[in-house]
Amino acid sequence: MDSNRIHSLDGMRALLMLLGVYFHLSLAYVTFGSDYAKDVNSTSVFFDFFFGFLHYFRMPGFFLIAGFFGSLLYHRKGAEKMIANRFKRILLPLIALIWPIALMNGYSKQFSYARNEGHDIIKSLSEGLSVFNVKSPSDLFPWSTEHLWFLNYLFFMSLLAYIIKLIQRKYIEFHSIDTGGMLSNKVRKMILTFYLKPLSGTLLLCFFYGLLMMILIKGMAQGDAQWWSWIWFFKWGAIKSFFAFGFFYFIGWYMYHHKSMISTLSIKKQLGVFVIINALLYGVLYGLFKIYPYSPYPQIMHSWGQTSSVTFNIDMSEFDFDKLNEENEFRGVFVQGNFNGWCGECDNQMTDNDGNGIYTKEIQMKNGDYKFIFTINGWDGVKRDKEKDYEEWISPGKEGLDCDVSPEYNEYVIQVFEEDMILDPICWKQCTNCNGDIINLTSNGKKDSLKENPINLLHIFLWNFGVPNYIMLILAICIRIFNHESKAMRYISDSSYWVYIIHLPLTHFIPGFFHGVNINVFLKFAISSMLITIICFLSYHFFVRSTFIGKFLNGKKYV
């Protein structure tokens, strides 16, 4: 065993990695929309909560641990060796593995979609090959970093730390003004406060993170941003995500300076801090919501918001139903929006009871600004129609409209605020009625955005205020549970990198086998979890651990 390893943080890294497997798997069973094929008879709000809970703190926690180990590398090996290590162990694996992972992910999705459409396993395996039915070779290039975006961000955080340290050393050496050192000392003192006075220290972390997010005007670290893009640094939303995650990376970096204090963390004390801060936080949030009954966070709206009835109407009289062939047999018109998670076919089918071509759906909705579209056959026309222009299955689609109110994505926009609404029939592919008359879905009729109200800055501050509180409790628990050498935990920690890389295609593929199977959704999740976990660790043991792949990822082979 390596006496220099910090077992508790190794354990936390392994725990967060395993939680990531089940976090992504839960997307096959949530009630809201995602790019996972979902059996509408096998969803549960439990998985909505499970997903939201882990999404709140998991990736910030990962970046905190990454910052700690980045600082460890820097102080043990020096700046040059640290950045060289990050290049070899983070950037090169991202570049080398993204193509096969993207293909596996695409194949697994197509297999799962086919199974969800009722095809047998053999047919679905064949249908998965449609991922190669592309119009040009460039379509096979992984333009997204997929779930490996974490590696992209992490390398640039390491590079930024290297540059800051380089500039700091030269500035101090040649100018003898330790301004960088003064700032570093202030951060170190704040971290030390966390160990010596857990309540005060946690409150400080919560305050500064909430303040940062309020300044950035960013609801969540990973929200509303192209963090998956290779060139995220040209996209302002993704840059803000980088700053948000970078906060935890550099907190972890400075935690290394007090590594001897880590073992003093107490679950009992930190649990008390967690309860006190959460009670205070939700009390203030509730009071704020009572003053102004709107929040940019759906979780708050669904818990405390007032419900109104909204009736959607779409006029399909100008739609050519002859376009639908046997493979795309007409199953219905659906309304998709951020009020139902863009959820495909989950109880959002519209009806035309009087046969006049106008399809209707009444939905109970909370206060808020909403975007929505209409689709044919849920999302199947979009996901499965690779040879044609799948936009024919969406209204309004990507083409610009004169009365468009959401130009970035070309969606319809409405506002619900303490009143029932019956929307005028929208003509398919238009934002007018089929006579060309302007209706109340244009910039002329739209009310002021609720999200622009200054009080939402307080919501942003308070919502993000709680994130460090969760992370520090998880840290305290891991310090207590994993504070000793364990062969099993060492093995899981060693495998975590590979499991992180390989698990996402499996979370699409394995649930696909059970689409249409009449068993309990929790049993499906449990069986899929076990199979994915077994495959991940068996593949690591036999194909990675003692091979060149293991050396490529971890710097050495294990025996």
Overall size of the chain counted in residues: 559
Among 26-35, 66-75, 132-141, 432-441, which is the least confidently predicted range? 132-141
Q: What is the mean pLDDT of residues 538-558?
A: 90
What is the token pair recorded at 219?
A: 């609801």
* Strand, coil or helix: 557: coil
pLDDT band per the 50, 70, 90 thresholds, residue 1: very low
- What is the Cα–Cα distance from 436 to 427, expressed in whole angstroms? 9
Does residue 538 have a pLDDT over 90? Answer: yes
pLDDT band per the 50, 70, 90 thresholds, residue 337: confident
Does residue 113 have a pLDDT over 80? Answer: yes
**Rg for the chain (alpha carbons), in Å?**
25
Q: What is the pLDDT of residue 335?
A: 92
Q: What is the mean pLDDT of residues 43-48?
A: 90
Do residues 124 and 115 make contact, with C-beta atoms less than 8 angstroms apart? Answer: yes
Q: With pLDDT > 90 as the criterion, what percentage of the chain qualifies?
A: 47
- What is the Cα–Cα distance from 509 to 525, expressed in whole angstroms? 13
71-107 per-position pLDDT tens digit: 999 999 999 999 999 999 999 999 999 999 999 999 9
Q: With pLDDT > 70 as the criterion, what percentage of the chain qualifies?
A: 88
Domain boundaries defined on the chain: 7-282+458-554, 303-451
Among 122-136, 318-332, 534-548, which is the least confidently predicted range? 318-332
How far is residue 6 CA from its own chain's centroid? Answer: 29
Does residue 265 have a pLDDT over 90? Answer: no
pLDDT band per the 50, 70, 90 thresholds, residue 441: low
- What is the Cα–Cα distance from 348 to 314, expressed in whole angstroms? 13
pTM, rounded to two decimals: 0.86
* Structure-model confidence comparison of residues 324 and 418, the more confident one: 418
Residue 269 makes CB contacts below 8 A (sequence gap 6+) with 198, 476
Up-side HSE of residue 15: CA atoms within 13 Å toward CB? 19
**Sign, CA torsion 11/12/17/19:** positive
- What is the Cα–Cα distance from 253 to 188, expressed in whole angstroms? 10
Residue 512 makes CB contacts below 8 A (sequence gap 6+) with 37, 108, 111, 112, 114, 115, 116, 124
* Structure-model confidence comparison of residues 329 and 331, the more confident one: 331
Of 468, 498, 539, whose CA–CA distance to 191 is shortest?
468
Q: Could you tell me which CATH number the domain at 303-451 has?
A: 2.60.40.10
What is the token pair recorded at 279?
A: 């009670």
